Structure 1
Amino acid sequence: MKGPAEKEEEARASSSPIDRFAAVVAGAGGVVSSVLILLVLVITGTGVWMRYVVGQPIAGVEEATGFFVVAIVMFGAAEASRRGDHIRIDIILDKAPPWLRRWLDVWAELSVLVFAAALLVTGWHTVTFSRRFGAYSPGYLELPMWIPQSALIAGGVLIILVCLARLLLFLRGGRA
């Protein structure tokens, strides 16, 4: 009987270069997302401490936290999708025969691919408009809006990359 490490090594050996590249890039996005979660924890904790204990609130904490939460989702979504940690209706897949399950997986990946492409295009238009127009955040930070909006582009690219790798895997007859 194979242990988890042996199964992971076997899966890595049988995966294609595209699968491995997608895993590395999505994993890097997951690391960025994890670091941002810790940063939000520190910023929020410091903001609460300064406001309620010291009596001197830090301006812009809530605004920065909001921007970071969007970045957390955008950078972490691809890794969650790659690992199969996203939301889906398993009861239908569990009851389906293997051939139908494969095509349902393909359909799901195509659906996510369309969504990610729309996210990428919309994010690109939003960022270019904000840069051209010179839009700044309305809060204390007065940050150029194209900077936090760029997370939409990064998220779209990461999700598309993972989707394409998973789609190729399913079309080759593999399982995630």
Structure 2
Amino acid sequence: MADDFEPTVMSDQVASSDEEAPRASSLLERVVAAMSLAGGAISCLIIIVVLGLTAVSVFNRYFLGRPIMGVDEATGFLVVAIVMFGAAESLRRGDHIRIDILFDHLGPRLHWWLELWSFLAVLVVAALLLITSWHTVLFSRMFGAYSTGYLSIPMWIPQSTMVIGAILLGLVALSMALRLFRVPKR
């Protein structure tokens, strides 16, 4: 049975994380892919910023004896932004963790259904994240919530990254689910 298995969407387009993301074929997929790629690029840039901030902070604290105030707080907010901006691109490239041992022992038809189920599950989670983070941002703006640390910035600013990330993740999950319908179930 395993010998005649023909992988479907994710497996034949992304064999490993070292390869390119699947090529978009529809206008929706191209737009979503561009947005996802931009989110991934922003995530990469933020990683570099966090690395730089951390290095400068460590140097100042341990070599100059003068810690930079607010770096820990800013780094915490930036780590959330890294995850939220990068999650959609990871899904699009097929880099999220999944249990491939199960997929390897399924026929093509069941494989197709499980992939559809997984993309729809991600879409539901993204929708729930969007709803809750949107309400959190509105609440923070309405009550003028500020961070309690040294930076004391309006909380809706770092919380907005969750809204943007949820939108990106939902769009990629929807795009990947729709792509499945162009692939025969066999």
TM-score (norm: length of structure 1)? 0.91
For the pair 1:124 / 2:126, whether they are aligned, the reply is no
Paired with 2:115 and 2:80, the residues of 1 have a C-alpha distance of 27
> Which one of the candidate residues 166, 172, 175 is aligned to 2:176?
166
Paired with 1:169 and 1:116, the residues of 2 have a C-alpha distance of 18
> Which one of the candidate residues 68, 81, 93 is aligned to 2:78?
68
The letter of the residue matching 2:183 is G
Deviation of 1:20 (Å): 1.2
* Partner secondary structure for residue 115 of structure 1: helix
Q: Which runs of 5+ in 2 are unaligned?
A: 1-18
> Which one of the candidate residues 36, 39, 59 is aligned to 1:26?
36
The CA RMSD over aligned residues, in Å, is 1.6
Which position in structure 2 is the counterpart of 1:148?
A: 158
User: Structure 1, residues 116-172: CA drift from partner, whole Å, max 9, x if none?
Assistant: 000000010000000001000000000100000000100010001101110000122
Paired with 1:174 and 1:163, the residues of 2 have a C-alpha distance of 19
User: Structure 1, residues 23-72: CA drift from partner, whole Å, max 9, x if none?
Assistant: 11100000000000000000000000000001110001100000000000
For the pair 1:50 / 2:71, whether they are aligned, the reply is no
Deviation of 1:174 (Å): 6.7
The letter of the residue matching 1:134 is G
Which position in structure 2 is the counterpart of 1:84?
A: 94
Percent same amino acid among aligned pairs? 55
The letter of the residue matching 2:181 is L
Runs of 4+ with deviation above 3 angstroms: none
TM-score (norm: length of structure 2)? 0.86
Paired with 2:163 and 2:119, the residues of 1 have a C-alpha distance of 19
Which position in structure 2 is the counterpart of 1:93?
A: 103
Deviation of 1:115 (Å): 0.2
Which position in structure 2 is the counterpart of 1:3?
A: none
* Partner secondary structure for residue 80 of structure 1: helix
Paired with 1:91 and 1:173, the residues of 2 have a C-alpha distance of 22
Paired with 1:174 and 1:43, the residues of 2 have a C-alpha distance of 49
Q: Which runs of 5+ in 1 are unaligned?
A: 1-6
Paired with 2:81 and 2:136, the residues of 1 have a C-alpha distance of 15
The letter of the residue matching 2:121 is S
